[in-house]
Amino acid sequence: MPGKNLSRDEAQQRASILAVDSYRVRLDVTSAPDPAAATFRSTTTVAFRCSQPGAATFLDLLAPAVRSVTLNGRSIDPATAYDGARVHVDGLAAENVLTVEADCAYSRTGEGLHRFTDPVDGETYLYTHYEPADARRVFATFEQPDLKAPFSFTVTAPAAWDVWSNAVHEDVVEEGAARTWEFAPTKPISTYLTAVVAGPYHVARDHYSRELADGTTLEIPLSAMCRKSLAPSFDADEILGVTKLGLDFFHEEFDYPYPFGKYDQAFVPEYNIGAMENPGCVTFREEFVFRSKVTDAAYEGRANVILHEMAHMWFGDLVTMRWWDDLWLKESFADFMGSYGLIGARTRYSSAWVTFANQRKAWAYRQDQFPTTHPITADIRDLEDAKLNFDGITYAKGAAVLKQLVAYVGSEAFFEGARRYFQRHAFGNTELADLLDVLEETSGRDLKAWAAAWLQTAGVDSLTPQVTTDAEGRITELAVLQDGEVLRPHRIAVGLYDRDADGSLVRTGRIELDVTGNRTVVAEAAGRPRPALVLLNDEDLTYCKIRFDAESLQTLRAGLGDIHDELARALAWSAVWNLTRDGLMPARDYVALVLRFAGQEGNIGVLQSLHTQAKTAVDLYADPNWRAEGGRLLADGALRELREAVPGSDHQLAWARFLAQTAGGAEHLGLVRGLLAGSARIDGLDVDQELRWSLWLALAAAGQAGDEELAGELAADNTASGKRRYTQCLAARPTAEAKAVAWSAVVDSEELPNALVEANIAGFAVPAHRDLTALYAAPYFKLLERVWSERTIEIAMRIVGGFFPHAQTDEQTLAEADAWLDGHPQAAPALRRLVLECRDDLARALRAQACDRA
């Protein structure tokens, strides 16, 4: 489609001549409850200035039809002005008013204005999601972050509905079966941050007040909402409680009053991401409304996301990056503040940095070792590049680097820099240099070299201790060896650990220092007794992979679970997982560590990560000849720990889920069926609806779940979640027919909504079914360019990443991937990046398998 993929050069050229004064957007969604209605009416009036009168420009719009285009009172023929992606206008005046009336499409992909009908009660719900560039699916727009403007929305909707947008509504007028909602103008914001939520949502309301330094009182109306059928599960008090703690914290740290009036939080169905920071109207995936029992890690994760999105009200909404190159200016900060804020806001989640070290950084390490890795400040050529850059580097690596920056300049200098940044650039757009300027002012440090090393280079360094001792076992020299393409400055703590009287591994010494170059001597360690464990990057101050000397590694093999401090233990687990992924530790050795010590792991989030990683080690990184034995060992371990776990505990639930993931033998599957039927019982284990679906998935993948049984479970749980889980179970059955149906449902039709696309792919790609799915490797590579050109980018990304033959860990599949890459040098760069990353995962698995065989 011409012009669909806006380039950075085009955006810069447009911004060089235009300044936008206001948008007025009118939407009529009264047709939404009718499933046969494919479109809604959208009318946009944008007032803008042009510094070059007589010039031409374009607005972005993805709509089935444009009814009219009017520029400064002059009618323009839509047939010539609209090319399917852009509305072209010429003869601009110094001051312009442009109106575009269009029929825009309701979405089923989570992009634009998404429409969902609840199977429980037939109610219809709408919400928008735009980042990075899908506002153009709802109204005509200059779709780039640096053309900010105030927005005024008017929405006509069914009379029984409520409607929300970024600002408060000023008026609601009833007109028969419809009501029209008039919203106040917003502050100047970027197009991708605008939002509309509409439908018969269940709403909980609250209020936040704060006395400001100038003696005035800040009043913020609060609300949280979800679908009516989820209301019995909606713990709004907990959500709003975290919200108020967060508002207290960010006001204290940022010293800039929340600038967007109200604060609504909508938990919406079939959402593609975790949440979105629309100012005044944040949207979250409704899976954060827990309809069955979850572990405390899930509550911590939700609280983290609430604070992450709240941090965006300042980092991203108040001050926005100029172009997507500097996406990190908001996402890295929000990811850092999510964890920092959980502790600083005095929530009950005191292990936030443990979760960050164990989970978020694992995402960063993986992304940063792809051949497609990029600096935190990236080179984003166009919107497709931008879409792929919402990755582990922009989020988690950037957050880890900010944690290192806080250690480097000090927390007070860091936050004083943030305060000046907000004051100086409020409602504007920034680049890297703008942030560095204020941090240099507050810290007194020249940060240009630091930024060059950390923000403008790619890759992850490895730090390894080198220990020499004398005849009496005292350290003669402890050095830190740094390996990597870029040798960065690291501020780290070195932890020295020995066993105490109870047998626990506890820290007996801590040395903080700057690591530079290939080799740095830790002078303070000389003369100390050789510890059992040398832990580099203790307290997780920097971003790196840590390795171990031989004696420390042996200590971990014998007693990793004995490390008393949970953050130190999480760092050790992260390190041995990186060794496994890098082909330096056999996968079966990692599995042995998990089976030996995971039962001792007190942090539930770490335990759940260990389950995921152990399963990956067996499925992808182990010698295929050992795979079946490894799977049996995991299932036996899960069953043993399930029976020994404290009744009713989070750990018991986690082990029950892990049993469902690993069950394959008669004993395990027999218990699974017994738990479903009620003929077997584990004291304290509540086999609620979500756990039931996990157990059914285990039976389905083993070929032991009949059509009538699965249909019966769906009948008992005729919800959106039930439909997703049922669809996944059908696709997970080990038959050629099941795989063909799942493949065709996704590839040959555009009828499925995003949630069911995801469910079919997940069920199709059961690793144990690699013999069945191997048949689809050749068709997969043939369909890539068609999928990329015909589907929305969100759905195309899911198909490309989800159907890649990950489980075919053999040289033939690697060769097929290489052949496609070699044969399609002109394919869309974003598509090539996805395939190249999948190919790299496959090559890594082959290297790990070679290590395991050896």
Positions marked active-site: 309
DSSP structure class, residue 149? B
* H or E element in which residue 69 lies: strand 65-71
- Where are the extended beta strands (E) located within 500-647? 505-515, 519-521, 533-538, 545-546
Report whether 542 contacts 570 (CB < 8 A).
no
Contacts of 608 (CB under 8 A, 6+ apart): 295, 297, 654
Residues 321 and 497: their CA atoms lie apart, in Å, by 44
Report whether 759 contacts 732 (CB < 8 A).
no
Amino acid at 332: S
DSSP structure class, residue 83? -
Report whether 22 contacts 399 (CB < 8 A).
no
Nearest to 26 by CA among 101, 81, 124, 89: 101
Residues 500 and 411: their CA atoms lie apart, in Å, by 33
Burial 209-218 (b: 16+ CB within 10 A, else e): ebeeeeeeee
**Strand 263-268 relative to strand 217-226, pairing:** parallel
CA–CA–CA angle 631, 632, 636 (5° rounding): 120
Nearest to 97 by CA among 128, 115, 74, 114: 74
Report whether 375 contacts 457 (CB < 8 A).
yes
Residue 297 CB coordination number (10 Å): 21
Report whether 486 contacts 516 (CB < 8 A).
no
Report whether 756 contacts 270 (CB < 8 A).
no
Residues 757 and 743: their CA atoms lie apart, in Å, by 10
Residues 437 and 65: their CA atoms lie apart, in Å, by 47
Cα–Cα separations (whole angstroms), residue 773 to 630, 631, 697, 766, 778: 21, 19, 18, 9, 10
Residue 13 CB coordination number (10 Å): 12
Residues 403 and 399: their CA atoms lie apart, in Å, by 6
DSSP per-residue codes, 160-201: T-EEEESS-EEEEEEETTEEEEEEPPPPSB-GGG--EEEES-
Question: What's the token pair of residue 497?
Answer: 């650990």
Report whether 28 contacts 101 (CB < 8 A).
no
